[in-house]
Amino acid sequence: MKFTAAQIAGLLAGAVEGDPEIEVSSIARIEEGQPGALSFLANPKYTPYIYSTTSSVVIVNRDFVASEPIRATLIRVADAYSAFAQVLRLVEQFQADKKGVSSLAFVSDSSRLGEEIYLGEFVVVGQNAIIGNRSKIYPQVYIGDRCEIGEDVVIHPGAKLYAGTKVGNRSVIHAGCVIGSDGFGFAQQQDQHYEKVPQTGIVVIEEDVEIGANTTIDRATLGSTIIRKGVKLDNLVQIAHNVEVGENTVMAAQTGVSGSTKIGRNCMFGGQVGLAGHISIADGVKLAAQSGVGSSIRETGGIFMGSPAFALSEYKRASVHFKRLDQMAKKIQELEQKIESLNR
């Protein structure tokens, strides 16, 4: 698979500076460039490499100014990082262009399969399930009864979708995800033992969602656990029953959201954030890594840190004193002893 600089520039609405007919057939980091490779420069920290790289073509920002001669052909674009991401998406599409149903897949007679789909080896599709056009289901995926998979969906190996799960168009579910498993619902009885509360709801994943490897999303006790369109969840995220995650919210790895919590739009959570149940988070909230949130946050666009989490500005002021707590405790103890001595 080869492309000329001119073809790539046409795709990215960019301008070629150098040889428009030079070809590339691979992609490389700018510091590891090689002839025939395409690289990009977006972070100024990597600028020195553009003068030494042997990559044939480099995508740069339109306003990039060179201070030395450059051997590579440049493609100038409005945003080099976004443009390179677009190239990577196209490469991924070429590499993953699989179609057909494996003879080793099991498909229920009552299910409905769209056109140009791919079902890999040992995929199981349950009764009355629907798989939309051009969706790709990789080996060992389990799709339970009555699941509805939209168009252009990609489900990677080993993911498990319990009965009734709905997945919107163009969503991606990575390897090992479990979607629609029981919520953690148990009622303590008078004799202190626990009775399981049946979890009868489903999980609804809207369009353009991406769910990282080994993430779990529990189905609702009643109704739906909902992941709104554009949400991006990292690996090892836990979403409990009846949670709702708003549009375009992103969560880093090991974040855990307890049951019935409602999260607004455009939120950003760092790694290992923990949220208590039955609370709400306003739109645009940012939570630093390892923040613990025990009550609702109603301040739109607020930034919070710590456990328990509080406003970032307050946290930074308080953190100045955190490291001195031992000294402060000793000083207080000395003052108490002096006061006691004076009193005597």
Q: Which residues of 112-123 are buried (b: 16+ CB within 10 A; e: fewer)?
A: ebbeebbbbeeb
- Between the two ends of the chain, the Cα-to-Cα distance in Å is 90
Indicate if 257 and 331 belong to the same structural domain: no
**DSSP codes, 108-151:** -TT-EE-TT-EE-TT-EE-TT-EE-TT-EE-TT-EE-TT-EE-T
pLDDT in tens, 211-261: 999 999 999 999 999 999 999 999 999 999 999 999 999 999 999 999 999
Give residues with Cβ within 8 angstroms of 171, minimum separation 6: 150, 153, 154, 205, 206, 207, 208, 209, 210, 211
- Would you place residue 317 in the very low, low, confident or very high pLDDT band (cuts 50, 70, 90)? confident
**What would the mean pLDDT of 63-92 be, rounded to a whole number?**
93
How many distinct structural domains can be found in the chain? Answer: 3
Indicate if 125 and 238 belong to the same structural domain: yes
d(CA 261, CA 18): 54
**What would the mean pLDDT of 101-119 be, rounded to a whole number?**
96
pLDDT at residue 161 is higher than 90: yes
d(CA 315, CA 337): 31
**What would the mean pLDDT of 127-141 be, rounded to a whole number?**
97
Domain of 234, CATH number, reads: 2.160.10.10
Indicate if 288 and 201 belong to the same structural domain: yes
Determine the pLDDT at residue 312: 76
Determine the pLDDT at residue 96: 67
d(CA 68, CA 325): 52
Does an H or E element contain 178, and which? strand 178-181
pLDDT in tens, 114-127: 999 999 999 999 99
CA dihedral 151, 157, 158, 161 (to 10 degrees): -10
- Would you place residue 95 in the very low, low, confident or very high pLDDT band (cuts 50, 70, 90)? low
220: containing domain: 100-315
- Would you place residue 37 in the very low, low, confident or very high pLDDT band (cuts 50, 70, 90)? very high
**Can the peptide bond before residue 157 be classed as cis, meaning omega within 30 degrees of 0?**
no
Domain of 46, CATH number, reads: 3.40.1390.10
Indicate if 296 and 341 belong to the same structural domain: no
Tokens of 97: 């262009």
- Would you place residue 330 in the very low, low, confident or very high pLDDT band (cuts 50, 70, 90)? confident
pLDDT above 90: percentage of residues in the chain: 85
Indicate if 142 and 245 belong to the same structural domain: yes
d(CA 312, CA 306): 8
Indicate if 59 and 90 belong to the same structural domain: yes
Does an H or E element contain 343, and which? helix 325-343
d(CA 329, CA 335): 10
* Residue that terminates a domain, selected from 62, 95, 128: 95
The catalytic residue positions are: 241
Indicate if 105 and 187 belong to the same structural domain: yes
Indicate if 241 and 342 belong to the same structural domain: no
Indicate if 297 and 163 belong to the same structural domain: yes
* Residue that terminates a domain, selected from 73, 95, 117: 95
Tokens of 106: 């099991």
Indicate if 152 and 79 belong to the same structural domain: no
Closest CA to 247 of 231, 225, 271: 231
Angle at which helices 5-12 and 80-95 pack, to 10 degrees? Answer: 110
Average pLDDT, the chain: 94
Indicate if 288 and 188 belong to the same structural domain: yes
Q: Taking the model in full, what pTM does it have?
A: 0.80
Indicate if 163 and 239 belong to the same structural domain: yes
pLDDT at residue 93 is higher than 80: no
